[in-house]
Amino acid sequence: MNDKAISKPADAIELAIFASRITAVCEEMGASLAQAAFSPNIRDRLDYSCAVFDARGRLCAQAAHIPVHLGSMAYAMADIVAARDWAPGQMIALNDPYLGGTHLPDVTLIAPLFVDDELVAFVANRAHHADIGADSPGSMPLSRSLDDEGLVIAPVALVDEDRIDESVLGGWLDHLRNPPIARGDFSAQIAANRIGLKRLSALIGDGESADVGAFETRLAEYNDYARELAASALRELPDGRYEFSDVLDDDGQGNTDLAIACCVDIDNGRIAVDFSGSADETAGNVNCPLSVTAAGTLYVFRCLMPGQVPACAGAFDDIEISAPAGSLLNARHPRAVAAGNVETSQRVVDAVLGALAEAIGDRIPAASHGSMNNVALGSHRSDTPWDYYETMGGGLGAGPNRAGASGVQAHMTNTLNTPVEVLERHFPLRMCRYALRRGSGGAGAQRGGDGLIREIEFLEQASYTVLAERRRHAPWGRDGGGDGAVGENHLDGESLAPKCTGAADAGQRLAVASAGGGGYGTSS
């Protein structure tokens, strides 16, 4: 293949090369973002995602980053693209969950690619900022409205004519506690998009070698290929209607056992997933926009497809998703959503898997630990403010032919932990214990994976917030397998609620123990 332009027509080899090259654009964007970022949350935990979209906002490619980021971007991008006029040299930033975002810490930067004044494609990245201006350190508060959660960014040009708009960026930094760190992270996101534009431009070609038509033709072929592979996999699912209901522990505001009801209709490979019967939107922050619900749903069906199915729009053309407006899974402005992205998305996965277990039980595992186990710590003292945010792994659900893995992230997240050395170097914290929670996986012919215990000592007075699930309702086992142990939160040995916030003095210890995965099959 010509290094500067795309030849046509495509054969199987050329299409495979095209797929690798466009995916590599996303991967290099991610590598650039991690290397340039200032905050441990982006630099060390890799809490970001990168993707390429076509001129209509349809997903072309993504790296193996974070499913809840990527699925929600793919679902919402077409509306974002259609809502504005685009110009060369722009980068649009947003985090508003009701205008294409997920929750406020996830800030998305979108850059259009023009070739000879023609809009051809977009590159985008989404990164989680540990401080987005909430009163609560870590910007993951026990909120009751969107305004409680920090700075709300409606789509706005952060970069115009290839220059950062300092009035926009400066306005954001005025709301944040550590402007140099925030500026560094935003600059890293800008740099990642610039790398993406450069590499995508090289793929299409430039000057006389540019061939936009060939690029668009190849994208169409790529989507057709994905659609055919996906349809073949989905047609293997038996026709019928399959239902399942699960619950969230609580919303942090006293409302408990919030239902996530799922109905999956399968008709010759056509999939309709309806969440009618789920709880109404609630006072706490476990609400989520429909894009997050879609991310969890699409993730499950992507897991049922062969690994070689391209992660592009065509793979999902036969899947429809609906949830009643005003419900927990299709909340309305200005409902709080900080935990919806991280916790409710996980329960969406459990509900869809539970419904599909009726159809293809031998392919569906027991429930995994079902929470991102969010821990936000920090101090907003004027002299040395700091914000720390982390998610924790837990136990995976076992399957018919394998035990569940222990101490790993599951389903909608794909981040690393913060290395102990990084945590202790950058924050007034000491890691006292970091271990597997032995025996927390559910019993069965195949045992569920064990959860984690992470115990942190405060070296100075600070605030904490924990947003966690599976503290009251255990991850379910399958086919006679036992449930995983529920998770626990403690401060100096005293039990804390699943979602809690408070102040800690120097010397106190916060311990978060994640749930184990469910077991599979009856023990002999």
Q: What is the 3-state secondary structure (H, E, C) of 279-312?
A: CECCCCCCCCCHHHHHHHHHHHHHHHCCCCCCCC
Q: Is the residue at 233 inside a domain? A: no
Per the listing, tokens 């406020």 go with 104
Q: What is the 3-state secondary structure (H, E, C) of 82-125?
A: HCCCCCCCCEEEECCHHHCCCCCCEEEEEEEEEECCEEEEEEEE
Angle among Cα 312, 316, 319 to the nearest 5 degrees reads: 170
pLDDT at 207: 61
Same structural domain for residues 60 and 209? Answer: yes
CA dist., res. 341 & res. 360, Å (int): 27
Per the listing, tokens 């879609």 go with 294
Task: Give the structural domain span for 437.
Answer: 366-524
Which of 183, 128, 127, 121 lies closest to 158 in space, CA to CA? 183
Give the residue ranges of the chain where pLDDT is below 70. 1-10, 206-209, 524
- Quote the number of domains for the chain: 2
For 509, other C-beta atoms within 10 Å of its C-beta total 16
Contact 116, 79 (CB under 8 A): no
Helix (H) or strand (E) holding 127: strand 118-128
Q: Is the residue at 376 inside a domain? A: yes
Residues of 461-494 as b/e, b for ≥16 C-beta within 10 angstroms?
Answer: ebbbbbbbbbbebbbbbbbebbbbbbbbbbbeee
What is the model's pTM? 0.94
Domain final residue, candidates 227, 261, 295: 227
What does DSSP say about strands 429-437 and 451-458: parallel, antiparallel, or unpaired? Answer: antiparallel
Q: Is the residue at 193 inside a domain? A: yes
Domain final residue, candidates 197, 227, 257: 227
Distances (CA, A) of 18 to 24, 179, 203: 10, 40, 9
pLDDT at 10: 61
* DSSP 8-state code for residue 145: S
Q: Is the residue at 38 inside a domain? A: yes
Q: Which residues touch 289 (CB under 8 Å, ≥6 apart)?
A: 72, 76, 97, 98, 101, 102, 330, 331, 337, 340
Q: Is the residue at 277 inside a domain? A: no
Q: Is the residue at 349 inside a domain? A: no
Which of 13, 15, 71, 2 lies closest to 348 in space, CA to CA? 71
Q: Is the residue at 445 inside a domain? A: yes
Domain final residue, candidates 204, 227, 250: 227
Same structural domain for residues 370 and 223? Answer: no
CA dist., res. 500 & res. 510, Å (int): 12
**E strands of 385-444, at which residues?**
386-390, 429-437
Same structural domain for residues 46 and 193? Answer: yes
For 502, other C-beta atoms within 10 Å of its C-beta total 12
Distances (CA, A) of 96 to 103, 155, 281, 372: 7, 8, 17, 21
Q: Is 416 helix (H, G, I), strand (E, B) or coil?
A: coil
CA dist., res. 382 & res. 463, Å (int): 14
Angle among Cα 402, 405, 407 to the nearest 5 degrees reads: 170
Q: Is the residue at 86 inside a domain? A: yes
Token reading at 290: 């429909």
187 phi/psi in degrees, rounded to 5: -65, -35
